[in-house]
Structures are given as C-alpha cells and as structure tokens.
Structure 1
Amino acid sequence: MKSPNIEHNRNDYKLFVRDLTSSSSPEGKLVLTSASLSDVHWLNDDRRVALLMGDESGNSTQLVIVDTSTEKLQRLSSTQNQIESYSIDSEGDTIAYTIVDTGTSAKRTPGTSTDDIASGYRIASGPDMTDATVARSIFFRRRKGDGGWSLPHQVTIENPFTHVKTTHLPFARSLSLSPNGKRLLFNYFSDSVPDSWRQDTVMKSFLNSDQFDIMVLYDIDTAATSLAINSLYPASTPLWSNNSRSFLVNSPSPIGSRWQEQDIRAHRTSGADANLFAVDVESGEVEEVFENVPFHHEGPLAWRPDGDVVLRSGFAAIVRLRRAGDSWHEVDRIDLAHSDLDRLSLLSSDGTTIMGTRETITTPPELVEYSMDQRKLQILTNLNPELSKEQLASVETMRWTTRGGLEVTGYLFLPPHYDPAKRYPLVIQTKGNSGWFACDSGESHDPSFAPQPIAAAGMMYLVRGQSIDWKFQDDLNNRPEGYPGGIGEAVQQMDIWDSAVDMLDKTGRIDPSKVGIIGFSRTGWEVEFDLVHAHTRYAAATVADNVQYSLSDYWLYPWLDGDYERMYGGPPYGSTLGNWEKYSISFNLESIHTPLLLEMMGYGAHEDLPFKWPGSIPRNLANRFEITKGLSRLKKPFEMYYYPDEQHQPDHPKARVASLQRNLDWYRFWLQGYEDPQPAKRDQYEGWEHLRQLRDTDATAATKQQRLESHPNPI
C-alpha cells in the first residue's frame, strides 16, 4: 500500500498480508514498512515473499525475502547496490538481478581526470556525442547447501548475431528465471540485427536507430546465450511453464512467419500490436496462443499445472485457453465487470483465483477477489474510503468525427448541477484515458491534468477515451498526407480537438471563447503546435515536461537528432530549413497569443539550483529558455514552474498537490475570471493580472496586424 505523507512530503509504503480463508481481519496484517516497496513475488511455500526495498535516500534498493509468519527479513544484496529489477526461482534458491553498469564502458568519459581538467579536453560533436543509453549488468546468486548464498556472479552473454561477448547490457530488463532456476530470459538492446531482418517489410519501420530491442535466453549452468524469439520488441515479461521447458510472451509475430502475414493483412504492424506466443526452449518451436492481445506490456496471468493459460482479453474480461491438437482454443470466458465502465488492474492469479483492483473513471480503486470455480466476485478492501464522502463530477461518453474522418471517443466531465441550457468553459486533456479513475490524470498520475477539481469548479473537462477495440494503427492510417516527415501526427491531433470544440459549440454546450488545453510529455509538443496553427483560439494552456521538437532540443540532445530530422523531413539547414521555419515552435513564437503555463521536472538535479548560484539556470532547463526567452522578448503572457525533485510523473505529495492546485487556479483565472481570496496567493494573482495586461496588449496588436494584412496600403 502506498499512501502520501503530506507532513513529511514522502510516500509511505506498507506491506499487508491477509488470509483469504478468513474474514476476521479485512485490513490484513502489517508485515513491513519502508520508504519504498516494489516487485512483490510469493515463493512456493505460501509463506515467504521476495521484494525490492528502498531506503529514504533513494540511493539504495535491496532485494529481500520476508517471512510473512515471523516477519523475519533476509537481505540478498548489498546496501551499496541499487537493484533495478530482479527475478527469483519458485523455491527462492536462485536470484538474478540488474544494477546500473558504471564501469564497463570501453570509452573513458572526457573531463573526468585531473589532467583533462588542467589541460582542457575535446568536446565531441555530431556522431561522436555520447548517447543516453542506460547500460546494466546482470548478476545471479545461488543458495548453498549450508543455507548461505554464493557470491554474486556477473552474467556474460554472447550477442546472438555478432557473437561478441559482453557484460555491458544496454537497457537490460524483463528478467524471468525459470522455476527450476537454470535458465534466464531477458530483453536488452543489441547493436546489430541480421540482414534478413533489415529486408523484412514490417521490421524496416523499426530499424531507424542503432539499438534493437531483443529477447535472449541465458543458460546459467553452461553460460550459453541464444535468441529467445525471432522478433524485435518482445513486450511482456516472459511467463514460464511449471516444468521450465516453455515460456509465454507477448511479441510482434516472428519474422517471416504465417502469423506475421496475418498481421500485415489485418494492418496490425505498429509497435503496440502483439500476439501471445508459446516458445519451447529445447526445440525452439513457436506457437501462437492468442491473437491481438489488448495490453501488449501485460503478460498472461497464469499458466496452470494442467496446461491451461489464463489471460486478460479486455478491460474486465478474462479468458482461459487450452491447447488441443496443434492449436489453442478458448474454453472459458469470465467478465469481471458490473458494467461497461469497470476497469481491472494489478491483476494476479494462481490459475483458480484472480486478485486485483476494480475502478471506473469516477470510482476509485477497490481490492477485489474472484473465484473462477465459484464464479463469484467479492470486494476485499475499500482502498480510498475518504473519497466516498466526496461528490465527484459525473462523466458522459461522447463521440465525434474529425474533418479528416477519424472517429474519436471522449469522456466529458460535467460540473455539479449541470444545466444543459448553459454554455460552460471547457478544458481539454490531450493525453488519453482508457476509463481508469481520474481525479488527476488517471493511473499514471501525470502532472497538470486535473479533471475532477476543474469540473467541480464549474467547467467542462474533455479527455480522449480509448476503448478496448481502439487500435493505434487506425490513427496511423488516418494521418493526413502532404506534410513533411512526421508533422501529420500534430496536424491530426490538432484536428481532433478543433473538431471537438466545434461540435460542443454547435450543440450549445460550451463557450468557444473560454477553452483551455493541457499537454504533457509528447502531447505538450502537440499543444504548442496547436497554439500556433489551430483554428481554435485557446484562452489558456499548459505544457508539462514535454518534448518540443525545437532547435534547442535538436542541439542539446544530439543522440535524438535522427528523430528530430525525421519529424521535419531533414535537418534545420539547406533544403529542409523551410519545414522547420513553418512548423517548429522555434520559428513561430510570434503566433502564440494564449497565456501559457509551463511545468518542468528536475529529475532530482540539485547541484545547479539558482539559490546556489544566483541568476543561474538549472542546466536541464537550458532548452526551455529558447522558448521562454522568445516569449518574454515578444511580451507574451507565460509563467514557468520548476519541480527539482520530481521525475517525469511527479511522485512527492506536495509536488502533485501543487501541480493540481496551480492548474485549477490557472484555468479558473483565465476561463472564469476567478481569484482565490487566500492571502497566500496574492502574489500569484498579481503576477497573473500582469499577464492579463500582456495578453490584452498582444491581442490588440494581433488584431491590428490582421487588419493591415486584410487591407494593405496601396503603393
């Protein structure tokens, strides 16, 4: 259980264990408390659990085994280590884990020696620039006969394509030890693929980089390495059979297989498209178990002793599959939903009982248990009892069609006491929600998005919905043509929101002069694009921790220059400069007339905070100052907030609350003309009143310029 501790600005993690055969203690028994707890796995004795436990500093994460009966804790890794992921065999006798690799790079980092500092050192540029790859090392340990543990043994693998041996494993992850502890599956980035892959029609679109995500099989006894499945981007952590002879994994279809041909015919060839495959590790034989898994990163729930496979086939749908002859067939289907709005997450199963949380977009998660034999669902624990006292905004499902013909589904949050005869302000959330509880953004807790608080304040709030049958490929197939590189993506997203605003305006539900829009991460770039090119004149906007596809991004992140050049059809030089001038935010700041709130995360970087060197700019904000300097020079209304301690999705309670409150205040100010009377906010509103003056002056100048362009003076 993770709960916010506002007083100390931290999250408290507690491990509870409950006896499912008894109802005497519904809250369970508290076994362990720590600054962080994650990746909990039961061992076969139904008494011990393995998990990762972190300290308050965040500098150490250890692998431990806890006896839930005695609460005795056994540490399996050093306090000096930062364990990132692990896997353990069924008896708890073999473990494998990853740590960040800091010492196996072949190249010495310039500027790290005293001689470099004294004599100066070369700054690399272009292709010589160091990339941002995170390399990891994998270690394994085994329990000895006396009950102690062997020393950590570092895994050396042989690349299945180049046959080069290395311990340096870029982005090693998804570790899965076989139940007998003899084989290890994991993903990592290979620097090479065979020519046959490069010639493959489907794979070509994924081969634009020099790093390729593959899954390998490592034999712990012989140290032999082999390719686990003949495909790029296996998506889920593999699930082993009880006899350790086969595994299941969600993956794009093997290259050249009949299943790949079927995917091509069905237009299912994007990175999010995957099928469930069974692989025999001895023979290498592959079978398709289930076509078109809905959640490609989420593997099957259980592989039962009788050979049946249990997996999630929808937001609340479970299927049981059985092998008959040379193919797999559905033998049972379970719907855990009380209604179409129900969503299930954090599911786990032993093959007969399913545990997880159930929620809707307006109902917070509750812990539930389902017996597959009795066909019975029961609520075990209400995880958020305090929210039952709150009046939450109701949600209406709406559908519309863009000018480009794309059919879109959305969730429209309605203010309390909604009056259909009244036109309301509208705030748009550009990052979608698949129906998960949304007080903030939903299950990922992205910053800036605030559907319930904003709706409760008397505004409408629109989020794009993604139904179970939604396919990313449909969006790709509908991308507008005639634009350079990948610009069609931004044009399509702009069309989605322009069309939604038009529909809500025509039906008399919103005031089109009072529309705000919020973007985070990639959709933040799309919002900046909208502010320049959309026909909707947004009254306020927020972008949070977003990519910009700007000149400063291009210059400061050279390992991404290929991605940026593909976006504009080439570099910002020569024949493709015009594409950047027309579509990049760097060249179009004068076209922004919307008050803009920027929220940026610091990722824990404290060494360059301005209070240590007054007037300095935190280095991870350097690329942002191209935009803010331009907006400031053009006297455009904007404000930027920096959260030094937060990651991409803020996790500390005060930062999360501050982002919610700040965006609520921002949209109430610009769309409702409301100012919170709290004395502590007086400075905030004085600043925003100044921004309002800048907005009005800018609007007057823009109107005058439009008149001049419409009626030029005769020469």
Structure 2
Amino acid sequence: LSIWSFAWSPNSKQIVFQGTDTPLTDDSYMFKKIYQISIEEGIPSLLCKTEGKLGPMAFSPDGNHLAYLGAVSLNDPLAQSLFVVPSSGGTPKNLTENFEGSGHNLYWLDNHTVLLLSTEGVQNTLRKVDIRTGKMKLIYSNGPIITSLSLHRKSGKFAAIANAPTHPSELFVGTVKKGHLTRLTHTNPELREIKLARQEVIEWEGADGWKIQGILTYPLHYQEGKKYPLALQIHGGPEGVSVNGWRTRATYPVQILAANDYFVLEPNYRGSGGRGVAFSKADHDDLGGKEFEDVLAGIDHLVKMGYVDNEQVVTGGWSYGGYFSAWAATRHSQRFKAAVVAAGLTNWISFAGTTDIPHEMSLVHWNSYWLEQRDLHWERSPLYHIQNANTPTLIVHGLKDERVHPEQSLELYQALKLKGVPTRLIMYPREPHGLREVPHMVHFINSVISWFEEHVKKKAEPHMNKYIN
C-alpha cells in the first residue's frame, strides 16, 4: 500500500491512514481508502467504505470517532462533505447533506462538535457541526478569507492565515466564541503606498436561470459612464472557485490588468466549488456547454450595465481556465478580441492519453471516458472548432507539465498558424503545471499585458510599472 496521510489516535494505540494500491497521482486523487491499524497487531484493514475523493481527517479528542472530508460518490469533483464514523469502524454518516458549500478542513472542538472550514459562494466560513444531529451553527462568514487555522481546543482560540481584497495572506487570531479576527502581521507594508482597484461581488443570471456569482475588479481610474475593455480571468478545475479575497498572483494578474484600464471578471460558473455537490456536478458530460454559457451571460450582464465595450473582450486562464480561453478563441471566437491560453486543454482525446490524471478528469468532470463518448469529447475540443478561430491567441506552457502535457499547446499553436490566426507560443523551461520561478512570472505578466494591449488597444509597449501609482 502507498500511504498518503495518517492520523494517530489520542491513546496512541491506533493509526488510521489513507492508502492506495499504487503510488500514482491519479490514484491519490480518486482511489484512496481509509485503513486502520492497531499498533500491537500491525495488520491494516479497511475502517469503512468510502467512494471517490478523500480529504483531511482527524480523531475526536476521546478517540471514539473519526471525522473526514470526502466525496459523496465516485464522480463528485471534490472531497467537500463532512463525514463521521466510529473509530472502531462502521458506516460513515454524512453530516452536510444538501449543504450549499464546500468543506476544506475540519477541527474538533470537543467530543461532539467539529469546526468546519468551508467555502460558501465567494466567502470562506466557519461552522460548528454537531456530530450527533448534524445541526450546523455559523460562527464566521464575513471578513478576510481564512485559508487555514490552528486551534487551541481548551480555550477556543485559534491562529489563522487569511487574506482580503486589500492584502495577501497575513496572520490573524480569533476565538470560536466571538467569530472575529484580529490581524497580527503586516508583511507587505508597501501596499499602503499603492492604490488598489475597487473589487466587488456580482451576480447574474446564467443558463437555465441559474444564479451565477463572480468577482469584479474595476479599472483603477474608473470613470462612471465610460465603457472599458473586459478581461476574463477564469479559474481552473473546473471545481476551483474565485473567492472575495486577494485576487492577484503571477498567473492571474488581476490588479495589473485593472491598472491598465480593464474591468476584470472572475466567474464562478456551474461546476465550480463553493456551492455544494449538485452545483459542482452540474457540468457533467457538458464541458464547454452551459458552464460556458454562464460566462457569456456574465459578459452580457456587464455590457447591459454599461460598464464594458462588447467589442473589447479578452480572456485568460490556466489549466481548465486555459481550456475555457481556448474554447473562447475557437468555438466562440466572434465574442473575443484576444486570448491567453496557459497550460490549457485543447484536444480532449489526446489529453486523456498524456495526462497524469486520466481517471480523475474523466470521472469527476466528464462523468465518462472519451472512448465511451468519442464524438462528444472531440466536439467539445477547441481544435474541433479551429476553422471558426480568428482570435489572436497567446499560448503559454511549462515544459515539465505532467498534468496538461505541453503537446496540448503545440497542437493549438500549429493549428492557429495553419489557419493564419495571429499567435505566439511561450514554453517555460523547468516549469510544472503553473509557474514557480520569479523571472518566468514577471515575463508572463508582461507578455499578457502586451498581448492584450497590442490586439485590443493597438498599443505596442505597455509595462507593468503602470501598476505602481
């Protein structure tokens, strides 16, 4: 067995661990099981039956129960539901059925109460959950976005890492009783000298009348009544989620785009996390379908509001966000002035043969394998629609990417060149699924801004220094 995580019982006589038969990445995503082993006997056995993804787990203080985050089925995109099971084994109980949120981590407050850290919509929350009744009590829902915490059970005090629209991650302290955070650190004091663009949560009506949320960042020097270009920055997954905290990083330069006079929309389309199991499963066997209609509806909403010039819409994103941008530049090319496709999927069939997660991508996103629905998987590939492509497209990839193989970018690049569409290919050496090296990060940001400025505003040499006020 390959062991991915473990928890030691309070009396030190039992260990539970999550294991798989083989040490493959795909197995660690999809096929982990929970085992228990007695320290005296040393022979592992299954603790309980689980199906699909597994997340954090912990013993109750008295050692009588194990709580864990897990999927409700093999095709659940996230280990987002809270389960509890006797530490001696048995049938797990789902404490969060019909919960319109996605659990991230759990912490025992006492033998009967779990503190659950979740995303609900665009906010991270803390809730007390009674393991006997499943009753939940909200204790924190507004303020900085908590990403992790360390709990002192006896006092109810905790330390937390959290971020907000005005700052990246900082250290906070709080109490379960009051549900309020106090900031302790200011590790980026230079931000006090920088004017940041306004950021807010917006909602619009997506396909089938569904309520869709997103994060909207205004142009830095926004003037009411003036129409601006719009830059989509689309999260990956698709079960990722954009929350209302600090949004700017090297791969998603939100504030830098805003400083260059773009509205920036980060849509949480159906299939995203943070809205419960049903919402995250809602794109099954319809990738690029109604989930992308949700995005197009967001654009239409901003156009109707008078914020955005419909002829100046651009898009960018990584991984599944890269797929959406490639889909925009091909299937929906008439809507987009320019695109940045970063580590994006462009051919669902060849992707399945080169990725390190063929089971995960097929089971929890498509809910089928390409060989079972070949025509659908090919029709939802950006390359299928290459004859419709006219959108200038910057393509970016890391040469050490095992998740989305660089050949996906090569396929799109070659096809766009054959079609005569303006395109550029950047391959970063040593980089995996994302960017790790600072020179590559800086180069990517400048390349994105330059590409958009060239093809939207017809300017030659913008620079990210424009961000500094």
TM-score range, shorter chain: 0.7 to 0.9
Structure 1 residue aligned with 2:276, among 465, 471, 475? 471
Aligned counterpart, 1:509: 307
Over 3 Å counting, the alpha-carbon distance change for 1:593 and 1:286 in structure 2 is closer
Deviation per residue, 1:649-679 (Å, 9 max, x gap): 322222222222221222122222222278x
Describe the shift of the 1:234–1:632 C-alpha distance in structure 2 as closer, same or farther (beyond 3 A): closer
Kindly provide the CA deviation profile for residues 414-446 of structure 1, in whole angstroms up to 9, marking residues without a partner as x: 112311211111111121412121122xxxx6x
| 1:588 and 2:390 aligned | no
Compared CA separation, residues 225 and 581, structure 1 to 2 (3 A): closer
After superposition, where does 1:217-228 map in structure 2 within 5 Å?
Answer: 217-228=36-47
Task: Assess, with a 3 A threshold, how the Cα gap between structure 1 residues 402 and 243 changes in structure 2: closer, same or farther.
Answer: closer
What residue ranges of structure 1 are gaps of 5+ in the alignment?
Answer: 1-166, 192-207, 256-268, 480-484, 606-618, 679-715
Distance 1:274 1:293, change over 3 A: farther
Structure 2: distance between partners of 1:562 and 1:465: 21
Counterpart position of 1:462: 265
> Contact 2:4–2:19 (CA<8 Å) still a contact in 1?
yes
Alignment of 1:385-400 (within 5 A): 385-400=189-204
Other structure's SS at 2:288 match: helix
Q: 1:230 to 1:665 in 2, by over 3 A?
A: same
Unaligned runs of 5+ in 2: 236-240, 464-469
Amino acid at match of 1:539: K
Match of 1:235 in 2: 54
Deviation at 1:470, TM superposition (A): 2.0
8 Å CA contact retained: 1:190, 1:211? no
Map residues 546-625 of structure 1 onto 2, 5 A cutoff: 546-550=344-348, 552-553=350-351, 556=354, 560=358, 579=376, 582-603=379-400, 621-625=406-410
Deviation at 1:568, TM superposition (A): 11
> Matches of 2:387 and 2:9 in 1, distance apart?
59
| Residue 147 of structure 2 corresponds to residue 345 of structure 1 | yes
Amino acid at match of 2:83: F
**Which of 13, 18, 24 is residue 182 of structure 1 equivalent to?**
13
Task: Name the amino acid aligned to 2:337.
Answer: A
CA distance in 2, matches of 1:504, 1:237: 39
- The residue type equivalent to 2:13 in the other structure is K
For 1:571 and 1:327, the matched residues in 2 are separated by 42
Q: 1:277 to 1:470 in 2, by over 3 A?
A: closer
- SS of 1:301 mapped into structure 2: strand
1:362–1:393 CA contact under 8 A, matched in 2: no
Q: How does 1:26-105 map to 2 (within 5 A)?
A: none
Go from structure 1 to structure 2 and tell me whether the alpha carbon gap of 1:293 and 1:655 turns closer, same or farther (over 3 Å shift): farther
Aligned position for 1:709: none
Normalization by structure 2: what TM-score? 0.81
Does the alignment pair 1:434 with 2:232?
no
Shift, 1:556, TM fit: 4.6
Structure 2 partner of 1:407? 211
Matched with 2:126 is: 318
Show CA shifts across 1:572-629 (max 9, x none): 8xx9776566443334323210111111012389xxxxxxxxxxxxx95344333222
Q: In 2, are the aligned partners of 1:404 and 1:495 still within 8 Å (CA)? A: no
8 Å contact 2:228–2:309 — kept in the other structure?
yes
How do residues 137-286 of structure 1 correspond to structure 2 at under 5 angstroms? 167=1, 169=2, 172-190=3-21, 212-233=31-52, 235-252=54-71, 270-272=76-78, 274-282=80-88, 284=90, 286=92
Aligned amino acid, residue 78 of structure 2: A
1:344-383 pair list within 5 angstroms: 344-351=146-153, 352-372=156-176, 377-383=181-187
Deviation at 1:374, TM superposition (A): 7.0
Per-residue deviation, 1:228: 2.0
The aligned counterpart of 1:636 is: 421
Q: State the Cα deviation string for residues 10-56 of structure 1 (Å, max 9, x = none).
A: xxxxxxxxxxxxxxxxxxxxxxxxxxxxxxxxxxxxxxxxxxxxxxx
The 5-angstrom pairing of residues 296-307 of structure 1 reads: 298-304=104-110, 307=112
CA distance in 2, matches of 1:343, 1:559: 29
Write the distance in 2 (CA, Å) between the matches of 1:541 and 1:310. 42
Aligned to 1:418: 222
| 8 Å Cα contact 2:338-2:456 kept in structure 1 | yes
2:328 to 516, 530, 536: 530
> What amino acid does structure 2 have at the position aligned with 1:526?
F
Could you list the per-position Cα deviations for residues 141-179 of structure 1 after superposition, in whole angstroms to 9, with x for gaps in the alignment?
xxxxxxxxxxxxxxxxxxxxxxxxxx4x2xx31222223
Verify: 1:669 aligned to 2:467, yes or no: no
Q: Report deviation, 1:247.
A: 1.7
Identity value in percent: 19
CA contact (8 A) 2:53 2:76 kept: no
1:543 is aligned to 2:341: yes
Alignment equivalent of 2:139, drawn from 326, 334, 342: 334
Instruction: Please state whether the residue corresponding to 2:293 is helix, strand or coil.
Output: helix
SS, match of residue 516 in structure 1? strand
Change (3 A) 1:353 1:400: same
Amino acid at match of 2:320: R
Determine if contact 1:236/1:297 at 8 Å carries over to the other structure.
Answer: no
Aligned equivalents of 1:472 and 1:244: distance in 2?
Answer: 29
2:114 equivalent in structure 1: 309
Aligned to 2:238: none
Measured in 2, the distance between the counterparts of 1:528 and 1:424 equals 23
SS of equivalent to 1:632: helix
Give the aligned residue type for 1:247: L
Structure 1 residues 527 and 333, CA gap change in structure 2 (3 angstroms): closer
**One-letter code aligned to 1:189:** T
Give CA-to-partner distance per residue, 1:254-293, whole Å, 9 cap, x none: 99xxxxxxxxxxxxx8343744233222363655555566
Residues 413 and 462, structure 1, Cα contact 8 Å, conserved in 2: yes
The answer (yes or no) to whether the contact 2:339–2:394 under 8 Å persists in 1 is: yes
Change (3 A) 1:354 1:291: farther
* TM-score, normalising length: structure 1: 0.55
Q: Aligned partners of 1:452, 1:667: CA distance in 2, in Å?
A: 15
AA partner of residue 448 (structure 2): N
Q: What is the CA-CA distance between 1:344 and the residue it aligns to? A: 1.5
Taking a change above 3 Å as real, the CA distance of residues 597 and 229 of structure 1, as seen in their structure-2 partners, is same
Change (3 A) 1:241 1:254: farther
Amino acid across the alignment from 1:626:
E
Displacement, 1:641?
0.9
Cα distance in 2, alignment partners of residues 238 and 180 from structure 1 = 17
Q: Deviations over 1:467-512 (max 9, x none)?
A: 99623523644x5xxxxx93x2202233123222223223322111
The 3-state SS of whatever aligns with 2:289 is helix
Return the match for 2:292 from 484, 494, 514. 494
SS at match of 1:404: helix
Indicate which of 254, 259, 264 corresponds to 1:451. 254
- 8 Å contact kept, 2:124–2:145: yes
Quote the RMSD (CA, aligned, Å): 3.8
One-letter amino acid matched to 2:259: A
Displacement after TM superposition at 1:234 (Å): 5.4
1:380 Cα deviation from its structure 2 partner: 1.3
